[in-house]
Amino acid sequence: MKKVLITGANGLLGQKLVYKLRENQRYKVYATGRGNSRLPKEWGDAYQWLSLDVTDLEQVLHVFDKVKPDFLIHTAAMTHVDECELNQEACELQNVEAVNNLIKACKQQHTHFIHLSTDFIFSGADGPYDEEAMPNPVNYYGVTKLKSEELLKSSSLKWAIARTVLVYGIAADMSRSNIILWVKKSLENGKNIQVVNDQWRTPTLAEDLADGCILLMEKEATGVFNISGKDMLTPYDMAMMTADYFGLDKSLIQEADSTIFTQPAKRPLKTGFIIEKAVNELGYSPKSFTDGIGILSKQIKLADS
């Protein structure tokens, strides 16, 4: 049985990975995060929880020495783009230094490192991007994620990078919102909302991203892979599709230009990914955005019941 260690297991992607791997007889799952587990109690027998702060090298080496994982899926990161811009030291520590720590531990234990990255390493001037496109980040979050990619690429490890875009989904404790939940709630409350129509993305269902990471592990793949949704959409498109799905009043949705929003961090305008490599080499098969809304709708009903 292969051992897989997941960082950031309390987060959205971390939760989906633990959920999907918990009944897979081929893997023993070690879920890690800062402090206590926030995963559902009923999953408890299927994984082992270890408290781990990835910015603490001593702790990282200790946990890796204890587990000796065959695979690491590193999902922990500081991802709030504006916070990264305003707190660059913290961002550097969590997104770059942490990766350096994990590289050292993986080296000692001969662990295959699967690392999560982002479309925000690109400028957004000429998306969608394939794996060979030239990075040029426009905000500090993107800068740190690019640095972490470069650390991995220059290491002697067996590694894979899963780049993704605008991940959406529902965490077990409903702790995170996303565009679908926000639009649904706003329109149900009769609120007018402004949604940008000049930023393009390929939004990614969290379950699809988890499947992509598991495929990378199962195939022991190496290199860079774009793991995202397949539909190129603006947030305005996503909002209209959400309103359509739930039969809500679309007249409450107003198109807006991103220049009207003042945010500390600049956003790339047009990213999105070309995913042929993951489809052809891994057998990756993401849902459409409409199917994604349907999956979230079922999960909302389950959470409410």
Lowest mean pLDDT of 45-49, 57-61, 110-114, name the range: 45-49
Tell me how far apart the alpha carbons of residues 181 and 80 are, in angstroms, rounded to a whole number: 18
Instruction: Give the CA distances from residue 286 to residues 184, 246, 247, in Å, rounded to whole numbers and listed in that order.
Output: 23, 22, 25
pLDDT, tens digit, 9 for 90 and up, residues 50-75? 999 999 999 999 999 999 999 999 99
**What are the pLDDT digits (tens) for 132-184?**
999 999 999 999 999 999 999 999 999 999 999 999 999 988 777 899 999 99
Residue carrying the six token digits 């925000």 = 120
pLDDT tier for residue 45 given thresholds of 50, 70 and 90: confident
183-224 per-position pLDDT tens digit: 999 999 999 999 999 999 999 999 999 999 999 999 999 999
pLDDT value of position 131: 98
Sorted by where each starts, the structural domains of the chain and their CATH numbers stand as 2-170+204-230+273-287 (3.40.50.720)
Count the Cβ atoms, other than its own, within 10 Å of residue 17: 28
In this prediction, residues 125-130 reach a mean pLDDT of: 97
Instruction: Copy the structure tokens of residue 273.
Output: 């990914």
CA distances from 245 to 33, 100, 112, 156, 201 (A): 35, 44, 41, 48, 20
Cα–Cα dist 99/97, whole Å: 5
H helices present in 130-224, as ranges:
140-153, 179-188, 206-218
Residue 175: the pLDDT is 72
Per-residue pLDDT, 174: 72
**Per-residue pLDDT tens over the stretch 1-28:** 999 999 999 999 999 999 999 989 999 9
Nearest of 190, 189, 229 to residue 211 by alpha carbon: 229
CA distance 263 to 84: 12
- 225's tokens: 């892979």
> Is-contact 187 31, C-beta < 8 A?
no
Per the structure block, which two tokens stand in for 251?
């007249």
What's the CA gap between 13 and 18, in Å, rounded? 9
pLDDT of residue 104: 98
Q: Is 0.75 surpassed by the pTM of this model?
A: yes
The reported pLDDT for the residue numbered 285 is: 98
What confidence tens digit (pLDDT) does each residue in 218-270 have? Answer: 999 999 999 999 999 999 999 999 999 999 999 999 999 999 888 999 999 99
Cβ 259 vs Cβ 146: under 8 Å: no
Do you find a cis peptide bond into 268, omega within 30 degrees of 0?
no
Q: Residue 65 CB: number of other CB atoms within 10 A?
A: 11
> How far apart are alpha carbons 207 and 209 in whole angstroms?
5
